[in-house]
Amino acid sequence: MDEPTPSPPLSQRTRQLLPPALGYVAGYVDGCTFVALFGLFVAQVTGSFVVAGAVLGVGHHPKLVDLFAIPAFILGAVVASALSTILRHRGLRASPVLLGLEGVLLAGMLATALLAPDIQNLNQPAALIVGLFGLSAMGVQNAFVGLHVKGAPSTNVMTSNTGNLAIDAAHVLTVAWLERFPSAAASAPEVEQARRRLAKTAPVVLAFLAGTVSGTLAWRAFGFICLALPLALLSILAAFAALRQFGDE
pLDDT digits (tens, 9 = 90+) for 102-132: 999 999 999 999 998 788 888 889 999 999 9
Q: What is the DSSP string of the chain?
A: -PPPPPPPPHHHHHHHHHHHHHHHHHHHHHHHHHHHTTS---S--HHHHHHHHHHHHH-----HHHHHHHHHHHHHHHHHHHHHHHHHHTT---HHHHHHHHHHHHHHHHHHHHHS----STTSHHHHHHHHHHHHHHHHHHHHHHHHSTTPPPSS-HHHHHHHHHHHHHHHHHHHHHTTSTT----HHHHHHHHHHHHHHHHHHHHHHHHHHHHHHHHHHHGGGGGHHHHHHHHHHHHHHHTTSSS--
Read off the pLDDT band of 101 (50, 70, 90). Answer: very high
Q: Output 13 or 9, whichever has higher pLDDT.
A: 13
pLDDT for the residue 33: 94
Please give the average per-residue pLDDT across 156-173, as a whole number: 92
2 pLDDT higher than 50: no
Identify which of 63, 216, 208, 224 has the alpha carbon closest to the alpha carbon of residue 138.
Answer: 208
What is the pTM assigned to this prediction?
0.89
Question: Largest alpha-carbon pair distance within the chain?
Answer: 73
Domain ranges for the chain, please list them.
15-152+208-242
Q: Output 79 or 181, whichever has higher pLDDT.
A: 79
59 pLDDT higher than 90: no
167 pLDDT higher than 80: yes
pLDDT tens digits for range 168-224: 999 888 888 877 766 555 566 778 888 999 999 999 999 999 999 999 999 999 999
Those residues with Cβ within 8 angstroms of residue 212's Cβ, 6 or more apart along the chain or in another chain:
27, 28, 30, 31, 34
pLDDT for the residue 141: 97
pLDDT for the residue 10: 46
